[in-house]
Amino acid sequence: MPTRLILCAALAWTSLATGAAAEPQTVYFPSGDGTTQIVGYVFKPKTAGPYPAIVMLHGRGGPYSSNTNGGCTLVAPKITSACNASTLSKRNVMWGQYWADRGYLALLPDSFGPRGKAHGFGRFTHGDPDRDDVNEKTVRPLDAEGALAYLRSRSDVSGGQVFLHGWSNGGSTALNVMIRQGAGTGFRGALAFYPGCGVKALLQQTVVTTTPIAIFHGTSDEEVSAVKCQDVAERSRAAGTPIDITLYPGATHGFDEPSSRRQSVGANQAALGDVLTKARAAVERWKK
Residues present in the chain in total: 288
Entry pTM: 0.91
Percent of the chain scored above 70 by pLDDT? Answer: 87
Q: Which amino acid is at 105?
A: L
pLDDT digits (tens, 9 = 90+) for 131-143: 889 999 999 999 9
| pLDDT over threshold 90, residue 171 | yes
Burial class (CB in 10 A: 0-12, 13-18, 19+), 233: buried
Through-space distance between the first and last CA atoms of the chain, rounded to whole angstroms: 25
Task: Give the pLDDT confidence score for residue 73 in this predicted structure.
Answer: 58
Task: Give the pLDDT confidence score for residue 83 in this predicted structure.
Answer: 85
Task: Give the pLDDT confidence score for residue 110 in this predicted structure.
Answer: 96
Task: Give the pLDDT confidence score for residue 124 in this predicted structure.
Answer: 76
pLDDT digits (tens, 9 = 90+) for 246-282: 999 999 999 999 999 999 999 999 999 999 999 999 9
pLDDT-based confidence at residue 118 (cuts at 50, 70, 90): confident
| pLDDT over threshold 50, residue 189 | yes
Task: Give the pLDDT confidence score for residue 19 in this predicted structure.
Answer: 42
Burial class (CB in 10 A: 0-12, 13-18, 19+), 123: exposed
Task: Give the pLDDT confidence score for residue 20 in this predicted structure.
Answer: 40
Task: Give the pLDDT confidence score for residue 14 in this predicted structure.
Answer: 46
C-alpha 246/C-alpha 6 separation (Å) is 19
